[in-house]
Amino acid sequence: MFRFLTAGESHGKGLTVIVEGVPAGLPLTQEFIALELRRRQGGYGRSRRQKIEKDLGELRSGVRHGKTIGSPITLLLDNKDWVNWQDVMAIEEPSEPSVQITRLRPGHADLPGVLKYAFDDVRPILERASARETAARVAVGAIARRMLEEFGVALHSHTLAIDGVKANIEGEPDWEAVEASPVRCADKDAEAKMIEAIDSARNDGDSLGGIIEVSATNVPIGLGSHVHWDRKIDGKIAQAFMSINAVKGVEIGIGFSGAVLRGSQVHDVILPIDQWGERRWRRATNRMGGTEGGMTNGEDLVVRIALKPIATLPRSLPSVDLHTGEEIPAHYERSDVAVAPAAGVIGEAMLAIVLADACLEKFGGDHIDETLRNYKAYLKTLQPRGGKATAPPDEETTEF
């Protein structure tokens, strides 16, 4: 099992991550993790915080001489902004009472959080509910991505829409153009309009949401299972994406649009053997986004997420004071205008985590070489059940 825990607050000393279940022998470097963290910090419409933090992800255990050793991996991400918050976020009880935050923000964790945990101050809630925690997840996702590379799995994301501006993309996006884009959009015309929309929202003291597409290619057939609700791969994917801050909707493949079509217009026809090409069990289309019956079906995994606008607004919405119940403007603290570009990188991380766990469940192994041997042996079984239509592939040609 690939599992992880994160700890830390937005303005505390830093974030701590413990990752368990990574097989021994996997090549892993801090620079690989830092690259993913830098991708998360980019994107047009981010707050000044991204200019303060320089996330690296310091490896403190579980790796020796550039390879994992099978024990838990510890990562530390320092908060550079801690120097400005030492009194507010001090571990020890302060000599003088801290200023309490009592102005509740609509759309945030403030009200349900303070009521659930019996606080008279919103600070303990907003610190942990902050999207700063997603930096820790991206670090975990980098480890998962590194493992998936051994299986030939690649992950990408791009922005489909911001503030009603929709990208016009036909076929696979130009991923180099996506990475170079300040809004992670391959459509240059849409990119310019998205930037204008973000500038307009910033000037108005408002915020924007967006729609992001995340994909994984070369995913093995048969990850997940149909036998129990909590083993279905699409259920795990949906839960992982819904756990990301501001995500309010998830669809796999054509998702909601398929609900108003006929079955003949939705389901992916299985192609005969002479049309398989280099991969086996191909489909004429991929409307289901790579899953069927709670399992991956060998096609690309395609997931789209809908992000609500950030809940912290410079031009505060009307709200209520926690102590008095009287109407008052909502609290404002430094925040992003638009997070859609960064959300794509976080989405890649969460999809990588789900797939890494599913691969380990399917193929097992205490050392990465053992895991890959099991994987290659499994690939040899992926032929018509009669066993006569194709010969098992050679060891050198088992990659998808």
End-to-end CA distance of the chain: 23
What distance in Å separates the CA atoms of residue 291 and residue 285, rounded to the nearest whole number? Answer: 12
pTM: 0.92
Return the pLDDT at 45.
67
Q: Give residue limits of the domains in the chain.
A: 3-378
* pLDDT mean values, one per 10 residues, the chain (400 residues): 95 95 97 94 68 78 97 94 87 84 92 96 94 95 98 97 93 93 95 95 93 97 96 97 96 95 94 77 93 96 95 87 92 84 96 98 97 95 67 43
Give me the pLDDT at residue 317, please: 85
pLDDT of residue 80: 87
pLDDT value, residue 281: 86
What pLDDT score does 50 carry? 56
Q: Which residues pair with 4 in a beta bridge?
A: 19
3-378 is classed CATH 3.40.50.10490: no
Long-range CB pairs of 283-291, under 8 A, 24+ apart, other chains included: 286/253, 287/253, 287/254, 287/258, 288/252, 288/253, 288/254, 289/251, 289/252, 289/253, 289/254, 289/255, 290/216, 290/219, 290/252, 290/253, 291/224, 291/233, 291/234, 291/237, 291/252, 291/253
